[in-house]
Chains A and B, each alone.
Chain A
Amino acid sequence: MLRRAPRRTSRIGRGRQTAVAYALLAPSLVGVLGFLLAPGVIVLVLSLFDWKLLSTPEFVGLANYQKLFTDSDVWHSLLVTVYYVVICVPGTTILSLLLALLVDRKLRGMKYFRALLVIPWMATPVALGLVWSWIFDPGRGALNQFLGVFGIDGPAWLSSPVLAMPSVAAVHIWQFAGYNMLFFLAGLQNIPRSLREASSLDGASPVAHFFTITLPLLRPTMLFVLITNVIGSFQAFDTIFVMTEGGPGDSTEVATYLIYDEAFRKFDFGYASTISVLLFAVVLIATISQFVYFERRTTYEVSG
């Protein structure tokens, strides 16, 4: 990927080309190094300090981490986050794959169906959270009114500690299933015609064909979809902020919400940074393990 560009430097001096290059790069150097890379490093430093609002920062070594390991709020919020991820990622992935199989046909009007399914992806998450709060409203909301038509007395979705999290996660799935469908669709359309039709001639059932031929060939798309969704859902904040504010109790208090709360409501920047580092580590481990898993599976396939 990083092949060197062909050297065509004889006509103009190398120095001049370097100067031009860095002039073109200058704004993004400030943006990427200054506002992305540097904060990523500074957060590590901050996590070693005791720094509350108006107090002078004081170096405390690993004290914040010691507190972290015994802080049940932190572990609870990490569990809540994992619960959210565990509902959202398989839900979104399976639904989007099924949708992709459905729209991967040449039927009249198909491009409009595809477009309609993608629309939720663009919706402003905060607005969407409010719209779904209204749908989930226990008294007059659309969901319970609809259930009422069948004589079912719907529950208070968002104020039940048991139902709040699945309800919030359902909104995530609703928003991103159509969007991820596009990636699976592109993956399906990259599969050569010959392979698509080969085993239907062998008389294999469509289901067997899907699991033996289609799914293994979709592996690169699968990895992309899983990784982007895992990273995205670990950072969920906007919809939860407006739908439940972490409640009821702390049943939907995901890690980002806890970080926001510690940093910008309690103004404990040091400790909030420590929780950020923990979240970063968890996301990184989740991402790397997916890469390793898929790498292994693929080599296995090739050698076996």
Chain B
Amino acid sequence: MRLRIFTYAVLVAGCLFAIFPYFLTVLTAFKGPGQLSETMPWEPGLPPSTAAFERLFSSGFGGYLVNTALVTAGITLGQVVFAILAAYAFARLSFPGRDALFWVYLSTLMVPPVVTMIPLYLMMQKLGLVDTWAGLMLPTMLGTPYAIFLLRQFFRGIPADLEDAARIDGAGRVRTLVSIVLPLSKPILVTVTTLAVVANWNSFLWPLIVTSSEDKRLLSVGIALFKGEIGVDYNAVMAGSLIALAPLLVLFIVFQRFIVRSVAVTGLK
């Protein structure tokens, strides 16, 4: 009993520590300029003020938000679809060079993104894609080796008999993939999609390098540059941070059960 109370006490303290920066962000974002200096950081500003958000949106922040949502959706869709196709080929088809190619894919997992950033930038320059939507999205949207790896492992665990039955009935490869394999793969699809959404929404270094015009700016770049432009206007900076943090937070709360389970899956194999 004493142990249980102790456990709860530590858990509550730990969870408070995990989420208090979010509280501070919300509180600060809704304070007026005067309230910031009159109140402690952990006190709410009364009455709440939306002045910081108005300042943000009048300086083009709405556009960054739309850009980020569309780019995240586009890259994620590409990554998941193309990873599914590649993983299915690796898991179910036999063709010359398969195993060697799979090892090549896996080995690229070891190349840190920051190492590839300079050549990638120069490639985009050669292709004339610097500061374009294509340059922003193309390098990552054609499938990531990690997603391909996770999906392939899962596909191999699905009994081949199920597909053979459908194929005898005359279904083609793509039909069996869509109607048999994918419905059985929901857990891993949730995992792969979650990891992709988080990575793409949060992505910073590549958008910072490859885009320069404001109409293609993403949230992460927007708030980082914003700090430099306006100095320490913490109300606006926290309002911007809140806009960046909130969508993933909502996503997490809705899919919390699946996400916690699915993250753990990736560590096992």
Contacts and interface: CB of A to CB of B under 8 A. Distances in A.
Given A18-B96, A124-B202, A135-B24, A269 B263 contact: no
A278 B11 CA distance: 42
Contacts of B93: 5, 17-18, 20-21, 24
Interface in A123-178: 123-128, 130-135, 137, 140-142, 145-146, 174, 178
A99 B41 contact: no
A46 B244 CA distance: 36
A263 B108 CA distance: 22
B183 interface: no
Interface residues of B, number: 103
Query: Chain A interface mostly helix, strand, loop or mixed?
Result: helix
Contact of A276 (B96, B114, B122, B143): B114
Contacts of B249: 119, 122
Interface in B123-158: 123, 138-145, 148
B114 A119 contact: no
A43 B119 contact: yes
Interface stretch (A66-74, A84-92, A232-240): A232-240
Interface in A227-267: 231, 234-235, 237-238, 241-242, 256, 259-260, 263-264
Contacts of B78: 27
Contacts of A17: 93-95
Contacts of B90: 25
A237 B120 contact: no
Contacts of A42: 119, 122-123
Given A119-B19, A124-B219, A124-B248, A37 B108 contact: yes
B260 A182 contact: yes
Interface in A26-75: 27-28, 30-33, 35-40, 42-43, 46
A210 interface: no
A102 B8 CA distance: 9
Interface string B225-269: 001000010100110111011001101100011011001110110
A104 B15 CA distance: 15
Contacts of B41: 134-135, 140-142, 145
B85 A40 contact: no
Contact of B142 (A6, A27, A234): A27
A105 interface: yes
A115 B249 CA distance: 11
Contacts of B234: 134, 137, 140
A237 B205 contact: yes
B143 A140 contact: no
Contacts, number: 302
Of the listed residues A39, A114, A242, the one surrounded by the most CB atoms of chain B closer than 10 A to its CB is A39
Contacts of A22: 89, 95
A116 interface: yes
A269 B245 contact: no
Contact of B224 (A4, A46, A221, A242): A242
A134 B99 contact: no
Given A145-B40, A183-B267, A6 B24 contact: no
Contacts of B138: 35
Nearest to A122: B248
A130 B119 contact: no
B102 A40 contact: no
A130 B227 contact: yes
Nearest to B141: A31
A32 B105 contact: yes
Interface stretch (A194-202, A280-288, A295-303): A280-288
Contacts of B120: 35, 39
A131 B234 CA distance: 9
Given A28-B148, A37-B108, A145-B41, 19 more contacts: A14-B95, A28-B85, A37-B107, A38-B123, A39-B111, A43-B115, A113-B14, A113-B15, A124-B219, A125-B202, A128-B21, A134-B238, A137-B234, A145-B42, A256-B114, A259-B114, A263-B118, A280-B115, A283-B110
Interface of B: 4, 7-8, 10-11, 14-15, 17-19, 21-22, 24-25, 28, 36-37, 40-42, 78, 82-83, 85-86, 88-96, 98-99, 101-105, 107-108, 110-123, 138-145, 148, 160, 164, 173, 198, 201-202, 204-205, 209, 219-221, 223-224, 227, 232, 234, 237-238, 240-242, 244-245, 248-249, 251-252, 256-257, 259-260, 263-265, 267-268
